[in-house]
Amino acid sequence: MAHQRCDWQGVYPAAVTPFTKDGALDEQATRDLIEVFLADGVHGFISVGSTGEWFSLSDQERVRVFEIYKEQVKGRVPVVAGTSAIGTRETVALTQAAKDLGLDGCMVLPPPYAMPTKEEVIGHYAEVAKVGLPIMIYNNPPRTGINVDAAMASELAKLPEVVAFKDSTKDLYQTSEAFYAVQDRMACFAGLEPYGLAAFSRGAVG
């Protein structure tokens, strides 16, 4: 039997990104928030995920947030960079930046809005995988219009760089099937807190 490719587990909050009143990135508030989470015992971070409003930040601002997390966390827990974008080229560039900074992985949605085919989604992740940074796939169909079901997750699990699968569907049957299909290779995470207990009983680790 295969084994999970990473040891990520526990609570990985998709932390908000604080802004100042004029809409600029609030760097000090970001550092303060990191320390609050760490004091509360989180096991890792998702930096600039969907709750972190990646869509409201320029690529340069996103990389700056990655830098802040690297500087502030100081290796105390893993930091996973949210590198989702509509375009594959942009996702690859952000993932490369996260790798260059020494972050522990990236979380990537299927390209939102673009409505790619299954083959295009797999191709998107294959290009990101070439960067060589561990990847958490994030399935959130209401946000993307793309559903990574058990069959697609199994295909993506063939990429060695794909180490984790986060699911935010409200279909527990589908979530169960996906987790059962990949949990021997990927660390599975519940993206919706109300589904956490049910997800843990089906193989989720966080």
Strand order in the sheet with 187-190: 45-47, 79-82, 105-108, 135-139, 162-167, 187-190
In the three-class reduction of DSSP (H, G, I as helix; E, B as strand; rest coil), residue 91 is classed as helix
The one catalytic residue in 47, 70, 99, 166 is 166
Q: Is residue 50 among the annotated active site residues?
A: yes
Query: Which two structure tokens, joined as six digits, stand for 186?
Result: 């990927």
The one catalytic residue in 12, 69, 125, 138 is 138
Q: What is the C-alpha to C-alpha distance for residues 187 and 198, in angstroms, rounded to an integer?
A: 16
CB-CB neighbours of 55 under 10 Å: 12
Q: What is the C-alpha to C-alpha distance for residues 131 and 95, in angstroms, rounded to an integer?
A: 7
In the three-class reduction of DSSP (H, G, I as helix; E, B as strand; rest coil), residue 23 is classed as coil
Q: Is residue 138 among the annotated active site residues?
A: yes
Residues with catalytic annotation? 50, 138, 166
